[in-house]
Homo-oligomer: A and B are copies of this chain.
Amino acid sequence: MSLLVVGSLGLDDIETPFGKVRSVLGGSASYFSIAASIFTDVNVVAVVGDDFPSSHLELFESKGINIKGIQHTEGKTFRWQGRYGYDLGNPETLGTYLNVFEKFNPVIPQEYKKSDYVFLANIDPELQLNVLKQVDSPKLVACDTMNFWIENKKEALLEVLKNVDILMINDSEARELGQDSFMTKAARNILDLGPRILVVKRGEYGALQFSKEGIFWAPSYPLEEVLDPTGAGDSFAGGFMGFISRENEITNSNLKRSVVYGCVVASFTVEDFSVNRLSDLKEEELNTRHQAFMGLTNVD
């Protein structure tokens, strides 16, 4: 099944206690699409400037990612500069340069409009609404958002939430949007806003999925090495949407399995900078780690 993602493509300068990289491939749509491409075909809509290396586009194509929806605009590509401390938690943003991303207006190519699965990465909720108007009738729509939009574009965001099936956000975003410090209550409040499923991404603590069918918890495998947490959340979303789109049956059990695959895929992303680990991931490695994840909570 085809999967559409609309998000950012960027060039990142990243510093962690374990290394430093400059001008590497970043942005939500990069992590998402490479992660999802492990499972299914992906259509990307994003914008890049004239400094965006063609090698990145070739990488996408080598993964079977359809790049016809990538707009090429005069100017520089979106750039983010960040630094992580030893806890590898929230990074310090040293610089954000929107560049061509500032005027991004997602146009969905005709051949993408029939995509059955749609992921609206963390962009302005007005653009997310704009995308929803352009797609035919997807089977499943998921979206991400962030504190900035919760605080500054609440109305548009609430409109988005009425029109998506799944919201995938992190712990603090869920508490802010759900206006309760108890996750269970925050989750209930969020489900009242529209989405029938809330997935809360909790980094090294895994992910929680709330729906009227109950609560599901996927653990995160304790890793030997984490070099760079950038892109973990978008890779999670890519693994999740890629898996469910490949299975193409939206059952409660498949939704749970999607959470597990999201965590599995994200666990690879953080083992190296940028998409390095993700882009050379072998199916056997994925299966082995999936087994390890499943074993982690098995009491027998």
Contact = CB atoms under 8 A, between A and B. Distances in A.
A296 interface: yes
Taking the full assembly, how many copies of this chain does it contain? 2
Contact of A216 (B86, B223, B296): B296
A253 B298 CA distance: 9
A182 B225 CA distance: 7
A49 B204 CA distance: 44
A181 B225 CA distance: 10
A297 B300 contact: no
A98 interface: no
Given A184-B223, A218-B297, 6 more contacts: A182-B224, A215-B221, A216-B297, A217-B219, A253-B300, A294-B299
B299 A219 contact: no
A19 interface: no
A295 B214 contact: yes
A299 B216 CA distance: 8
A147 B276 CA distance: 38
Interface in A213-240: 214-219, 221-226
A111 interface: no
Contacts of A184: 222-224
